[in-house]
Amino acid sequence: MKIIKYEKIVEEVKNMCIKATHELKDDVVNALKNAYEKEESPFGKEILSQILKNIEVAKEDNRPLCQDTGFAVLFVEIGEDVKIEGGSLKDALIEGIRKGYTEGYLRKSIVEDPLRRKNTGDNTPPVIHFDIVPGDKLKIVFEPKGGGSENMSAFKMLLPGEGKEGVKKFVIETVKKAGANPCPPIVVGVGIGGTFEYSAFLAKKATARPIGHRHPDPFYAQFEEELLEEINKLGIGPMGLGGRITALDVNIETYPCHITSLPVAVNIQCHSDRREEVIL
Amino acid sequence: MSVKKITTPLNEDIVLSIKAGDPVYISGVIYTARDAAHKRMIEDYQNGKNLPFDLKGQIIYYVGPSPAKPGQIIGSAGPTTAIRMDPYTPKILEFGIKATIGKGGRGKEVVEVLKKFKAVYLVAVVGAAALISRSIKKVEIIAYEDLGTEAVRKLEVQDFPTICAIDAYGNNLFEKGVKEFGKL
């Protein structure tokens, strides 16, 4: 049995909030540099150069990369042999988010009620996806999810017979419809299978995968590359002003599904593909 | 592409000299407003109250900045999705606004009202919020403070970088760009 202190979790989550909103991972920076090299549109190239410069300026000026520091989404895997001391895991995660967003001067973008819309003032609550796994580790992935890209997400129940082509058509349609709004070049998360709600979860989880990491099943790895190629034929380009690079990557997550169903969810991540991870 | 440097407030001559695709650098005063502030301005107007600032010839920037850290003028301040402000835009242009700054495309109706009222839609580089903040020299909350990040702010800017996406002649850079590079 491993004991992890409540305070330790709070501190780690707080630090993740600040780090993830101020600097991008190497895989994202490299993907943006690569996009800059490949882009043919003069506007697209100029925009990508400003996006790359913004990464430097955020560091130099100690400001978040983007003013929308997102809805705090957490993927938490807790080992069966882990015990939290000093409080509950959920409380520790929420407190970490609260501290991260207030002490880190991050934007508070959460309203306490979807219709009455009063801001909670500290960016809580987060959305937390828990999973219980064997072992004695606690893994926390933090993804601050911007609203502009989130708003362009879509879900559809396809007929099983529509198969791969149906999924492809729906993904392309969704990205085309999103156009300039989700801040391209984007990362496209696709969830296929499971139930109605589970496919949406899978799509979100897919956006959290590092750029360039392919699905372990060669069938889906190939499908990811095929989708990426098709999306980059749309011509949307950086910021939607036209160009070759509309998406930096496409990630697919799948799950078994019912004989009558083929659920597909698409979640879009902006070019500020921010995330952080800690294993305790 | 020659850079156009403009200073607020704008008159019709300045607006008509800006074409879709022009890089436009703004200096002077601009005002911030997002969905909630637009909604409230229009409600105030309908209730016979004064608007928070004189909108004639001014620019509205669609932004909800992150908080300033100690010693900073403003946090990060990049553009938000403009299409959410589409339902309010005809009225705001009627009040005299000559340019709006945001990200993403606009609906057909906005393209039409930009022509009608001779105004332009500018885009700032999305997600380059830290970079944009360097051109903001002074910030003052002037209305709806209770809206937090969505309050109306008066910004003093110098060479604030934008690109004209839709001009007062109905030219739309989004349509043109995607047509040029689209293969599907």
Percent pLDDT > 90 in chain A is 99
Sign of CA dihedral A82, A83, A85, A91: positive
Are the Cβ atoms of B75 and A63 closer than 8 angstroms?
yes
User: pLDDT category, B1, cuts 50, 70, 90?
Assistant: low
Domains of chain B (ranges plus CATH)? 4-178 (3.20.130.10)
Percent pLDDT > 70 in chain B is 99
The pLDDT mean for chain A works out to 97
User: pLDDT category, B182, cuts 50, 70, 90?
Assistant: confident
Say if residues A76 and A140 touch (Cβ distance below 8 Å).
yes
| Helix or strand holding residue B101 (H, E) | strand B99-102
Instruction: Tally the C-alpha atoms within 13 A of residue B80's C-alpha that lie toward its C-beta.
Output: 28
| Helix or strand holding residue A219 (H, E) | helix A218-231
**What average pLDDT does range B33-50 have in this prediction?**
94
Residues B55-75 pLDDT 10s: 999 999 999 999 999 999 999
Locate A260 and state its tokens.
């009558």
Active-site residue B38, yes or no? yes
**What average pLDDT does range B121-136 have in this prediction?**
92
d(CA B83, CA B105): 7
Beta bridge partners of B136: B157
Locate A217 and state its tokens.
């099943």
A67 three-class SS: coil
What is the pLDDT at residue B184?
A: 65
d(CA B121, CA B162): 10
What is the pLDDT at residue B165?
A: 96
Are the Cβ atoms of A41 and B72 closer than 8 angstroms?
no
Nearest CA in chain B to A237: B178
User: pLDDT category, A152, cuts 50, 70, 90?
Assistant: very high
The residue among A155, A191, A156, A159 whose CA lies nearest residue A260 is: A159
Q: How many Å lie between the alpha carbon of B151 and the closest alpha carbon of chain A?
A: 12
Sheet holding A262-269, edge to edge: A154-158, A262-269, A186-193, A247-255
Are the Cβ atoms of A54 and B127 closer than 8 angstroms?
yes
State the Cα angle at B161 between B155 and B167, rounded to 5°: 100
Locate A181 and state its tokens.
């709004």
CB nearest to B103's CB, from A43, A237, A239: A239
Q: How many Å lie between the alpha carbon of B23 and the closest alpha carbon of chain A?
A: 10
Say if residues A275 and A215 touch (Cβ distance below 8 Å).
no
Are the Cβ atoms of A234 and B72 closer than 8 angstroms?
no
A259 three-class SS: coil
Q: How many Å lie between the alpha carbon of A208 and the closest alpha carbon of chain B?
A: 18
Residues B82-105 pLDDT 10s: 999 999 999 999 999 999 999 999
What is the pLDDT at residue B156?
A: 97
End-to-end Cα, chain A, rounded Å:
13
d(CA A263, CA A252): 13
**What average pLDDT does range A247-255 have in this prediction?**
98
CB nearest to A241's CB, from B67, B69, B177: B177
Q: Is the pLDDT of residue A109 over 90?
A: yes
What is the pLDDT at residue B126?
A: 83
ipTM metric: 0.91
d(CA B125, CA B9): 22
What is the pLDDT at residue B88?
A: 96
What is the pLDDT at residue B127?
A: 81
- Among B38, B40, B98, B103, the one annotated catalytic: B38
CB nearest to B134's CB, from A57, A240, A270: A57
Say if residues A254 and A193 touch (Cβ distance below 8 Å).
yes
The pLDDT mean for chain B works out to 94
Residues A5-59 pLDDT 10s: 999 999 999 999 999 999 999 999 999 999 999 999 999 999 999 999 999 999 9
Beta bridge partners of A172: none
Q: Is the pLDDT of residue B32 over 70?
A: yes
Instruction: Tally the C-alpha atoms within 13 A of residue A66's C-alpha that lie toward its C-beta.
Output: 27
**What average pLDDT does range B31-41 have in this prediction?**
95
Q: Can you list the alpha helix ranges (DSSP code H) found in A89-217? A: 89-103, 147-150, 163-178, 196-207
Q: Quote the distance between the C-alpha of residue B152 and its chain's center.
A: 12
**What are the CA-CA distances from residue A273 to residues A67, A149, B67 (Å)?**
14, 11, 21
Are the Cβ atoms of A107 and B75 closer than 8 angstroms?
yes
DSSP string, A171-193: HHHHHHHHTTTT-SSEEEEEEEE
Q: Is the pLDDT of residue A68 over 70?
A: yes
Kindly list the domain boundaries of chain A, sorted by start residue.
2-20+65-145, 148-273
**What average pLDDT does range B143-154 have in this prediction?**
92
State the Cα angle at B164 between B163 and B165, rounded to 5°: 105
